[in-house]
Chain A
């Protein structure tokens, strides 16, 4: 009954539900993505519980909207995970592969809900793989064939009766109740419990058995397997309402029937399960007898941080308003300065003082508000980093490497606009590190290194920037080979390559066209796209740096502003237009007379320490053809992007300022050398310079060496 690809699908949800479903699914998928990879080795019970919950939640939500294929697949994954959770299976790499394959399919299936078009994913082989993983018997599984102490194997007829009830839509639960030791008449309480259960559920099995309870022979323990339409929360609440109930554990049984059911209460086990390995946490924490607490305990704990989902558009709106405030603040400060100079002589000291106090208070509040709103748009970089273990695992497997990934600084926060942009470059750099940086296990052994290479991804904040570094302990970059290649491809002259320091030669890796391989393999062709990585990062007013020691490893560091909404800039004028030069690229500003300028081949050149920088008239470079007067002394601003440097000739320097970046609008579109406009203190507009593209255009690449 495989459905044809492209066929329209119908789901039971409206637009709001769709949003909720997508967000929840994305969250769970992300969690699975990072957690499944960790399954291999020694999984923590907590991790298993998390993974299981995520699969369970996905199953529930997909079943609710009627996505049958997704529900079946998650069910199979959940079954496998449940076996692991119960210690009946140990995770193998085949199992993780099958689960990861399932996860990939789940992404596509989740997308179907949005597109409402059948994607053509065939879940049958995936389910078969998952089933196959289960049928492989390993030691714990063999042991489980005979009910061990602490386990319950239901008699055939009761199991069958339960199966029928489950068919009818009821859910099976394991109920374990302990009566308080102080209770005078435990048998009565057990009888009450049985009656309560009878009212809510179909009681399939009890220990002690029904006859014993009804004849008053029960003691302080009651175990029951029931099928009910209620959920575990309601059952817990009902049971907890009975006096003298000390603990009530209700567990939804999944995939365990008709197999043995693991019991949790040690007293219930006739003999303690000492011979077995440690049992994993199977039930919710012991619930105290108050119904509220019981309900709280029964509801899966999903309260990591208190948060509210806010529409990004709303935040953008707030950010714009704050941007307005910032501008008003600047403007008020200007007025204050004018006022105090005008009123200095008049006897209005008190008035101007008051005014100054108010404006500076407004300035503080505005800054604070801007900061807070900016922070509300921030997300931990974790969401990017969680995808990486999977990526490293895949890439390492493909090229036969052994790689351990270490991540740090997951809590580092950055603006969501930056998060969206940072992922691709980071993935690219990481692929390179695994594919080209880390050596094969044999090579590593020969070099006296451990077989498993280490790649670490670290994120941190410093001032108003976020840094992300990808470091490997691989073979490093051979600058000799790099020089040779750059010369062979005609990108650098032989003399320049010869003269370049190792550090300068390392920068060749960013020259477009150094690698001609166009991503032939799945992984990456050698050095493919470092130039593209750099272009993308620079577009965001960021920088990329590379360090490498041949034989010992490399480190690539990305530096990005915390937010893309505001930029620190040096304000300048050129031909009566105000421009903002992003501060990240500005290295120096000099007056024309103190600058050491020379004419070289008809081009003005600035000699700045040991470097020669082409001098570019900013207005001309941008295509400003309006008539202009040049009589006063001008200024030279040196700007740098990676290894390329130029000096911009401008009319005046106006100082530093935080500028709020605004688009030029669709009608004007993208202009060469400009990234947008910003509102100035006097309410007029200034233009923000795209210094990366101007520098790249004006400075011949790698010629600075």
Chain B
């Protein structure tokens, strides 16, 4: 990836400290964003194989060029109204502490840099303890965008799969 090499005329070093470089996507009528560093790629909706016995928001696994990648329906995770998949539906593939994970979103709208002075901590608006994945809120001219914390979106394995401690240990080993 060419993101490491600074483009001529743009001083990325200074910018990075006072702006957020994010991928913005839509879940229902809300807009969310993830740090671009965490996003590996964005793919169209493709075949997903359900895994029996997992939580409802674990959609299953998919084949990403030969890799088996688990997929989570982010709309279910964030309690957003579900709609049918459309041609705009995308899987945002992120790299997390537990490996690559695909997140189903209704649409990916844009990639942008948000200046820090437009970003606010969420405490005043929402209950943070119930929304562990909410890191900050960006106030754009026309709308609000919730900046997500990837660690909060992807809970620990045992919470995800309802495994007992013993099995969770095996999985971690």
Q: Which of A664, A682, A687 contacts B70 (CB 8 A)?
A: A664
Chain A residues with CB below 8 A from B101, complex form? 667
**Residue B42 lies at the interface, judged by CB distance under 8 Å to chain A:** no
Please report which residues of chain A, range 50-74, place their CB below 8 angstroms from some CB of chain B when the two chains form the complex: none
Please give the distance in Å from B74's CB to the nearest CB on chain A.
14
Instruction: Determine if B49 and A685 form an interchain contact, defined as CB atoms under 8 angstroms apart.
Output: yes
- Comparing A169-177, A193-201, A616-624, A651-659, the segment that makes contact with chain B is A616-624
- Comparing A271-279, A491-499, A671-679, the segment that makes contact with chain B is A671-679
Give the complex CA separation of A21 and B157 in angstroms. Answer: 39
Please give the distance in Å from B56's CB to the nearest CB on chain A.
10
7 contacts between A and B (CB under 8 A): A324-B66, A622-B53, A668-B51, A668-B54, A670-B163, A679-B66, A679-B68
Give the complex CA separation of A626 and B50 in angstroms. Answer: 10
**Residue B98 lies at the interface, judged by CB distance under 8 Å to chain A:** yes
Closest to B157 in A: A669
**Residue B161 lies at the interface, judged by CB distance under 8 Å to chain A:** yes
**A304-317 interface bits toward B, Cβ cutoff 8 Å, 1 = contact, 0 = none:** 00000000000000
**Residue B105 lies at the interface, judged by CB distance under 8 Å to chain A:** no
Instruction: Determine if A668 and B70 form an interchain contact, defined as CB atoms under 8 angstroms apart.
Output: yes
Chain B residues with CB below 8 A from A578, complex form? 49
Chain A residues with CB below 8 A from B66, complex form? 320, 323-324, 327, 679
Chain B residues with CB below 8 A from A677, complex form? 49, 61, 68
Closest to A325 in B: B66
Please report which residues of chain B, range 72-130, place their CB below 8 angstroms from some CB of chain A when the two chains form the complex: 96, 98-101
Instruction: Determine if B51 and A664 form an interchain contact, defined as CB atoms under 8 angstroms apart.
Output: yes
- Comparing B2-10, B17-25, B132-140, B165-173, the segment that makes contact with chain A is B165-173
Instruction: Determine if A685 and B98 form an interchain contact, defined as CB atoms under 8 angstroms apart.
Output: no
**Residue A684 lies at the interface, judged by CB distance under 8 Å to chain B:** yes
**Residue A334 lies at the interface, judged by CB distance under 8 Å to chain B:** no
Assess A685 versus B62: contact at CB under 8 Å? Given A666-B98, A667-B70, A668-B54.
yes
Give the complex CA separation of A687 and B66 in angstroms. Answer: 15
Give the complex CA separation of A662 and B100 in angstroms. Answer: 14
Instruction: Determine if B63 and A623 form an interchain contact, defined as CB atoms under 8 angstroms apart.
Output: no
Please give the distance in Å from B168's CB to the nearest CB on chain A.
7
Chain B residues with CB below 8 A from A669, complex form? 157, 160-161, 163, 167-168, 170-171
Please report which residues of chain B, range 141-173, place their CB below 8 angstroms from some CB of chain A when the two chains form the complex: 154, 157, 160-161, 163, 167-168, 170-172
Instruction: Determine if A671 and B54 form an interchain contact, defined as CB atoms under 8 angstroms apart.
Output: yes
Give the complex CA separation of A167 and B98 in angstroms. Answer: 58
Instruction: Determine if B68 and A665 form an interchain contact, defined as CB atoms under 8 angstroms apart.
Output: yes
**A601-642 interface bits toward B, Cβ cutoff 8 Å, 1 = contact, 0 = none:** 000000000000000000100111110000000000000000
Assess A666 versus B157: contact at CB under 8 Å? Given A671-B54, A677-B61.
yes
Give the complex CA separation of A663 and B173 in angstroms. Answer: 13
Chain A residues with CB below 8 A from B157, complex form? 666-667, 669
4 closest Cβ contacts across the A-B interface?
Answer: A623-B53, A669-B171, A624-B52, A666-B98
Chain B residues with CB below 8 A from A667, complex form? 70, 96, 98-99, 101, 154, 157, 160
Chain A residues with CB below 8 A from B50, complex form? 577, 624, 626
Give the complex CA separation of A679 and B96 in angstroms. Answer: 23
Seen from chain A, the residues whose Cβ lies within 8 Å of a Cβ on chain B are 320, 323-324, 327, 577-578, 619, 622-626, 662-672, 674, 676-677, 679, 682-687
**Residue B39 lies at the interface, judged by CB distance under 8 Å to chain A:** no
**Residue B47 lies at the interface, judged by CB distance under 8 Å to chain A:** yes
Assess A663 versus B68: contact at CB under 8 Å? Given A668-B61, A668-B161, A670-B171.
yes
Assess A671 versus B161: contact at CB under 8 Å? Given A324-B66, A665-B68.
yes
Give the complex CA separation of A577 and B163 in angstroms. Answer: 22
**Residue B36 lies at the interface, judged by CB distance under 8 Å to chain A:** no
Give the complex CA separation of A665 and B101 in angstroms. Answer: 9
Chain A residues with CB below 8 A from B99, complex form? 665-667
Chain B residues with CB below 8 A from A619, complex form? 52
Q: Which of B47, B96, B167 contacts A684 (CB 8 A)?
A: B47
Q: Which of A626, A663, A671, A686 contacts B49 (CB 8 A)?
A: A686
Q: State the total of A-B contacts with C-beta under 8 angstroms.
A: 95
Number of interface residues of B (CB under 8 A): 32
**Residue B69 lies at the interface, judged by CB distance under 8 Å to chain A:** yes
**Residue B27 lies at the interface, judged by CB distance under 8 Å to chain A:** no
Please give the distance in Å from A200's CB to the nearest CB on chain B.
57
Chain B residues with CB below 8 A from A686, complex form? 49
Instruction: Determine if A684 and B168 form an interchain contact, defined as CB atoms under 8 angstroms apart.
Output: no
**Residue B58 lies at the interface, judged by CB distance under 8 Å to chain A:** yes
Closest to A662 in B: B68
Give the complex CA separation of A459 and B167 in angstroms. Answer: 34
Please give the distance in Å from A698's CB to the nearest CB on chain B.
15
Chain B residues with CB below 8 A from A664, complex form? 51, 61, 68, 70
Please give the distance in Å from A501's CB to the nearest CB on chain B.
37
Please give the distance in Å from B103's CB to the nearest CB on chain A.
11
Give the complex CA separation of A626 and B60 in angstroms. Answer: 13
Give the complex CA separation of A626 and B48 in angstroms. Answer: 15
Please give the distance in Å from A223's CB to the nearest CB on chain B.
63
Could you say which of A320, A622, A667, A677 has the most chain B C-beta atoms within 10 Å of its C-beta? A667
Chain A residues with CB below 8 A from B171, complex form? 666, 669-670
Chain A residues with CB below 8 A from B154, complex form? 667
Please give the distance in Å from B36's CB to the nearest CB on chain A.
21
Give the complex CA separation of A674 and B100 in angstroms. Answer: 20
Please give the distance in Å from B172's CB to the nearest CB on chain A.
8
Please give the distance in Å from B143's CB to the nearest CB on chain A.
31
Give the complex CA separation of A625 and B141 in angstroms. Answer: 45
Instruction: Determine if A672 and B98 form an interchain contact, defined as CB atoms under 8 angstroms apart.
Output: no
Chain B residues with CB below 8 A from A682, complex form? 47
Give the complex CA separation of A672 and B163 in angstroms. Answer: 10
Give the complex CA separation of A685 and B70 in angstroms. Answer: 11
Chain B residues with CB below 8 A from A665, complex form? 61, 68-70, 98-100
Closest to B172 in A: A666
Instruction: Determine if A671 and B47 form an interchain contact, defined as CB atoms under 8 angstroms apart.
Output: no
Assess A670 versus B52: contact at CB under 8 Å? Given A665-B68, A665-B99.
no
Chain A residues with CB below 8 A from B54, complex form? 668, 671
Please give the distance in Å from A256's CB to the nearest CB on chain B.
52
Give the complex CA separation of A677 and B154 in angstroms. Answer: 21
Closest to A620 in B: B52
Closest to A576 in B: B50
Give the complex CA separation of A684 and B168 in angstroms. Answer: 27
Please give the distance in Å from A618's CB to the nearest CB on chain B.
10
Please give the distance in Å from A151's CB to the nearest CB on chain B.
60
